[in-house]
Amino acid sequence: MTKLGIIISSARPNRVGEKVARWVAESAGDRFDLDFIDLRDVALPSFDEPTSPKSGADKTTAHGRSWGERIGALDAVVILTPQYNGSYTGALKNAIDFLYSEWNGLPTVLVGYGWGAAQEVLPLLEKLMLRLDADIVGTVGLGFREDLSVDGELFITEQKAAALETALLAIESKVPAPIA
């Protein structure tokens, strides 16, 4: 079964990311083996490896190795990010920067949420992930008022639900089914 990671990137106490993650999980149904990755729990320190991830050198820290193994074990990923001051969270940028080859070719869906349906953050995150050669298969921007409340009550529009479903189908088409 396809292993799909769902990364929750907000570490704020009053975040709505967990509710958005549940929506993604419910949309995925039982088609995927889900790995919920909460960056608040992962709690990576500021990047502290002695070499650039792009160099291909082995990671030297336990947290760097663990993080690389966790992302490396995924067949695809959905990255959830709020829009903070027009961008993604510092925790997300740091988590992304710890790795390089693990993102290469990884089918990736970006789900942003915030005022203006995350129209500022999604292009920035897409540019970053493309720089790491991730395979962006879809983006979904959820807006406060039209798709969710600031407290996380969801009332996702059919259009946004269809966009997520299209992205999940794209993952299924890219990840070969295991041979029985």
Say if 179 falls within a structural domain: no
Pairing of strands 107-114, 76-82: parallel
Instruction: Identify the CA nearest to 82 among candidates 74, 95, 73, 91.
Output: 91
pLDDT band at 179 (very low <50, low <70, confident <90, very high): low
Q: What does the pLDDT read at residue 112?
A: 97
pTM for this prediction: 0.96
Q: What percent of the chain has pLDDT over 70?
A: 98
Beta carbons of 177 and 169 less than 8 angstroms apart: no
CATH number at residue 15: 3.40.50.360
Count of structural domains within the chain: 1
Give the Cα separation of 97 and 103 in Å (integer): 10
114 lies in which domain range?
3-174
Q: What does the pLDDT read at residue 107?
A: 98
For 106-124, the pLDDT digits (tens) are 999 999 999 999 999 999 9
Give the Cα separation of 10 and 84 in Å (integer): 9
